[in-house]
Amino acid sequence: MAQITVTGLSTVYPNGVRAVDGLDLTVADGEFFALLGPSGCGKTTLLRTIAGLEQATEGTLSIGDRDVTSVEPGKRNVAMVFQDYALFPHMTVTENIAYPLRVRRQPKATQQEVAARTAASLSLSALLERRPGQLSGGQQQRVALARAVAMDADVLLLDEPLSNLDARLRLEARTFLKRLQRELGVTTVFVTHDQAEALALADRIAVMEAGRIRQLGSPREVFARPADTFVANFIGSTPMNLLDGVVEGGQVAVAGATLPAPLPLDDGTKVVVGIRPEYLALGADGITGTVSTVENLGVSSLLTLECPDGTLVGVTVREQHEPAVGARVTVAPEAGRLLLYGKEDGRLL
Interface with ligand ATP (CB under 6 A): 13, 15, 17, 19, 37, 39-45, 193
SS3 (DSSP) at 88: coil
DSSP 347: B
With b for 16 or more beta-carbon neighbours within 10 A and e for fewer, the 220-243 pattern comes to eebbeebbbbbbbebbbeeebbbb
Minimum distance between the CB of residue 37 and ligand ATP, rounded to whole angstroms? 6
Looking at the Cβ atoms of 37 and 277, the one nearer to ligand ATP is 37
Minimum distance between the CB of residue 191 and ligand ATP, rounded to whole angstroms? 6
CA distance 299 to 318: 6
> In the chain, what's the furthest Cα-to-Cα distance?
77
Minimum distance between the CB of residue 44 and ligand ATP, rounded to whole angstroms? 3
Looking at the Cβ atoms of 44 and 241, the one nearer to ligand ATP is 44
Looking at the Cβ atoms of 139 and 192, the one nearer to ligand ATP is 192
Q: Considering only CA atoms, which of 196, 237, 202, 234 is closest in space to residue 218?
A: 202
Rg of the chain, C-alpha, whole Å: 24
Minimum distance between the CB of residue 275 and ligand ATP, rounded to whole angstroms? 29
Looking at the Cβ atoms of 42 and 289, the one nearer to ligand ATP is 42
Looking at the Cβ atoms of 47 and 115, the one nearer to ligand ATP is 47
CA distance 125 to 94: 9
Looking at the Cβ atoms of 50 and 339, the one nearer to ligand ATP is 50
Q: Considering only CA atoms, which of 212, 219, 215, 207 is closest in space to residue 178?
A: 219
Looking at the Cβ atoms of 122 and 206, the one nearer to ligand ATP is 206
Sheet harboring 58-63: ordered strands across? 18-27, 4-12, 58-63, 66-67
Please give the residue whose beta carbon sits closest to ligand ATP in the complex.
Answer: 44
Minimum distance between the CB of residue 134 and ligand ATP, rounded to whole angstroms? 29
Minimum distance between the CB of residue 35 and ligand ATP, rounded to whole angstroms? 8
- All residues at 6 or more sequence positions from 167 whose CB lies less than 8 Å from its CB, including other chains: none
Looking at the Cβ atoms of 76 and 193, the one nearer to ligand ATP is 193
Q: Considering only CA atoms, which of 134, 124, 138 is closest in space to residue 170?
A: 138
SS3 (DSSP) at 32: strand
Which amino acid does the sequence have at 287?
I
Whether 307 contacts 255, CB under 8 Å: yes
Minimum distance between the CB of residue 214 and ligand ATP, rounded to whole angstroms? 13
Whether 193 contacts 159, CB under 8 Å: no
Whether 42 contacts 208, CB under 8 Å: yes
Minimum distance between the CB of residue 279 and ligand ATP, rounded to whole angstroms? 29
- All residues at 6 or more sequence positions from 27 whose CB lies less than 8 Å from its CB, including other chains: 3, 4, 33, 187, 189
Minimum distance between the CB of residue 19 and ligand ATP, rounded to whole angstroms? 4
Looking at the Cβ atoms of 81 and 254, the one nearer to ligand ATP is 81
DSSP 55: -
